[in-house]
Amino acid sequence: MRIDLHTHSRASDGTDTPAELVRAAARAGLDVVAITDHDTADGWAEAAAAAVEVGITLVPGMEISTGLRGRSVHLLAYLPDPACSPLADELTRVLAGRESRVPDMLARLRGLGIEITADDVRAAAHGAAATGRPHIADALVGLGVVADRTEAFDRYLGAGRVAFVNRYAAPLETTIRAVTEAGGVSVIAHPWGRGGLGRPDEATLAHLHDIGLAGIEVDHQDHDAATRERLRAIARDIGLVATGSSDYHGSGKVDHDLGCNTTDPGEYERLMGLAADASERSTWTSPVVTSGPATGTA
Ligand code: AMP
Ligand code: ZN
Ligand code: FE
Ligand code: FE
């Protein structure tokens, strides 16, 4: 069983359509893939239809932009009802924040003499529900300003760079509770991925587990071997589920191929068990895991 629980499509800043993402997952030999676009459920229906076609299991999820003590924390949410009002309200605020910073970032780029317009970004976003810096990066590539997304982030868009503008993030603890109320489970994505200062330590993770956090993403490209072992031990001590995933963005992110990290089947079963418990306690309607007809050959 090969399980990848963190991937992006064109519903946010991946480069594959949801159907292409699921077909690519099947080609990569995955049995289970979760679609986890930033702050939106927009790709779920198309991905589920493709999963039936190609015969793999699709877990609907999302990666929510949250903040803890001024620091960005990405929260993976699996199987929540996106219509549940506390969660839906937070997602609306986050998506509005994604939109409202774009003009500011473009103004900064124009201040540097780069002629980039909102239409350029809109075209690069291909109708994505969640607009992100990678779309501005793609517009810059299209204009011949940079060679790829990496160069765009390094020169202009990364935190602290000239065109960087911060945006709204949902409070982490509120969001964990909102996901539970919506009948879903939450897992912190790449918890120790960037920078040492202020990242959630063991005591913080234990507290978050107490208020409903189900797991942490241990095996992720942003974690080196020592970090993975430390996080795995913490997950074991606290009782958190340990996941592994690619954070695939299509051709938008190098070194994040589908299945480059995977989740242990036992940990996946635990996570789905917690999701079933949350769904049972919730008054909202959780989406379903789609299982295509078994091929037995993947
Ligand atoms: P935003 O959602 O607008 O805050 O942009 C963050 C997104 O940009 C994340 O999903 C990252 O995966 C992506 N990202 C960050 N740095 C890079 C990079 N150097 N190359 C490609 N994508 C990146
Ligand atoms: Zn992304
Ligand atoms: Fe992330
Ligand atoms: Fe991601």
Q: What is the mean pLDDT of the chain?
A: 96
Give the whole-angstrom CA distance, residue 191 versus residue 200: 7
- What pLDDT shows up at residue 296? 45
For the whole model, what pTM was predicted?
Answer: 0.97
Instruction: Work out the average pLDDT over 40-44.
Output: 98
Q: Cβ contacts of residue 20 below 8 Å, gap of 6+?
A: 9, 250
129 pLDDT band, cuts 50/70/90, is very high
Element (H, E) at 205: helix 202-210
User: Relative to the alpha carbon of 74, which ligand is closest?
Assistant: 3
Minimal CA–CA distance to 141: which of 161, 155, 159?
A: 155
Q: What whole-number percentage of the chain has pLDDT above 90?
A: 96
Which residue bears the tokens 């350029």?
Answer: 120
pLDDT in tens, 150-170: 999 999 999 999 999 999 999
The residue nearest atom 10 of ligand 1, judged by CA position, is 13
User: Is residue 214 within 8 Å of residue 240, measured between CB atoms?
Assistant: yes
For 118-132, b/e burial (b = at least 16 CB within 10 A) is: eebbeebbeebbbbb
pLDDT of res. 292? 74
Structure tokens at 190: 């790449």
State the pLDDT at residue 294: 55
Q: Residues with Cβ within 6 A of ligand 1?
A: 13, 38, 132-134, 149-150, 153, 249, 252-253
pLDDT of residue 38: 98
Q: For residues 262 and 24, is the Cβ–Cβ distance under 8 A?
A: no
What does 115-135 look like in DSSP terms, one character per residue? ---HHHHHHHHTT-SS--HHH
- Give, for ligand 1, the residue of 138, 149, 151 to mutate: max count of ligand atoms closer than 8 Å to Cβ: 149
Q: Please give the C-alpha separations between residue 144 and each of 111, 115, 121, 152, in angstroms, as whole numbers.
A: 17, 11, 14, 11
Nearest CA to ligand 1 atom 20: 150
DSSP class of 145 = S
As a whole number of angstroms, the distance between CA 84 and CA 175 comes to: 12
Residue 298 Cα to ligand 1 middle (Å): 31
d(CA 95, CA 85): 15
Backbone phi and psi for residue 155, each to the nearest 5 degrees, phi listed first = -90, -35
Residue 244 tokens read as 């592994």
Ligand 2 center–CA 149 separation, angstroms: 11
47-52's contacts with Cβ under 8 Å and 24+ in sequence apart are: 47/9, 47/18, 47/19, 47/21, 47/22, 48/290, 49/19, 50/18, 50/19, 50/21, 50/22, 50/23, 51/22, 51/290, 51/291, 51/292, 52/290, 52/292, 52/293
Confidence bin at 298 (pLDDT 50/70/90): very low
Tens digits of residue pLDDT in 205-258:
999 999 999 999 999 999 999 999 999 999 999 999 999 999 999 999 999 999
Q: Residue 297's pLDDT is what?
A: 44
At 167-193, the pLDDT tens digits run 999 999 999 999 999 999 999 999 999
Q: What are the structural domains, with CATH classification, of the chain?
A: 100-157 (1.10.150.650)
Q: Tell me: the pLDDT tens digits for 16-26?
A: 999 999 999 99
Ligand 1, atom 2, residue with closest C-alpha: 132
